[in-house]
Amino acid sequence: MTESWPGLLGFRIAATSSAGLDWPAVDAIWAAAGELDVFSAGWMSDHLSDASLDGGGVAFESLATAAALAHRVPGKWIGIAVVSNTFRHPAVVAKAATLLDNVTAGRFILGLGAGWHEGEHRQFGIPLPPILERFDRYEHAVETIHALFSDEARAAPGVTRPDPFYPLDRATIEPPSVRPGGPLLWLGGQRRRGIALAARLADGWIMPGNVPGNLEYFIDRRRSSRPSSRTAGIPQRSGSRASSSSHRTMRACARHATSPSGSWPRAPRTSRWASCRRRAPMASATSRARSPSPFAIAPVAPEAGEPPVHSRACPPNRDGSSS
């Protein structure tokens, strides 16, 4: 039976400072990691060039790489943190994620962000809309993927929904996913609108790769989640027992984000990620077609050479999202 959630420790390959990295090396790394029981998941980022450069450099397209390496890590989870919404139509992402769900026997995590790296967009002629339009498209893409992961899309007549960016007309995802409700969906939005979107439609929230274990940043995001949770319809603290499920999760995760290296206990500096299981289902966030599941906050290993948050003339969320 497939585990409903990955464990506490994983490894990652990242498209930063990747000069000299080639396919035999990546393949060998994943083959070696697949033999180590300590790792429950393998992670990768989604870039078309070295993200530490303005353009150029070694990078492996994430969806194809995940499919090619899955056989090296049997029984482990595979996650992408995060897929850039600007690179692909969300229906194509949903199809690819569903295939990876089948390849991994229900152990694939789709991380999704709005896109941010100006250099690689310019280099390959991929439009990078202004921030407001970019997040609008991102939000609609999440809703589209959520619809394609629903039970209605598993067979005809499929899903039909109007949308200004990504309309669907009797769309189906066949063969469907192994995991009921589709692959786990984690989002990378770091501001109020992004956190509200994760609380409403996602299974998890991902901290930026360059601030893992940063408790000050974590507390700031937790504070920001209060109005976001109201927007998403999550109950707030009151005289009753109702409280924000996302806040309970963030408090639980904060207990594991206080070590100097920003990792879970004994986690190696270059290969760590963390998730916290929700004790309550997400039904309070919205009436979701997907089955209740944990809501995770997952600090992922920092990418070498990444500058501090807000240090570039681009959206301040350096995780691939923009709000």
Q: How high is the pLDDT of residue 288?
A: 33
The mean pLDDT of 22-34, rounded to a whole number, is 94
First vs last C-alpha separation in the chain: 36
- Phi, psi dihedrals of residue 2, rounded to the nearest 5°: -70, 135
Domain count, the chain: 1
Residue 115 placed within a domain: yes
Q: For residues 266 and 184, what is the distance between their CA atoms, to the nearest angstrom?
A: 26
Look at the alpha carbons of 94, 96, 102, 108 in this order and tell me if their dihedral is positive or negative: negative
Q: With respect to residue 237, please indicate whether it lies within any of the assigned structural domains.
A: yes
Position 100 pLDDT exceeds 90: yes
CATH code of the domain covering residue 170: 3.20.20.30
Note the pLDDT of residue 205: 84
* Strand, helix or coil for residue 299: strand
- Work out the pLDDT band at 36, boundaries 50, 70, 90: very high
The reply to whether 307 falls in a domain is: no
Residue 4, domain member (yes or no):
no
Amino acid at 125: G
Whether residue 108 is predicted with pLDDT greater than 80 in this model: the reply is yes
* Residue 2 in domain: no
Residue 201 lies in a domain: yes
pLDDT digits 0-9 by tens, 82-98? 999 999 999 999 999 99
- If you write DSSP's letter for every residue of 9-48 in order, what string do you get? -EEEE-SSS-TT--HHHHHHHHHHHHT-TT--EEEE---S
Residue 81, in any domain of the structure: yes
Structural domain of 217: 10-299
If pLDDT is split at 50, 70 and 90, which confidence band does 182 have?
Answer: very high
Burial of 68 (0-12, 13-18, 19+ CB in 10 A): middle
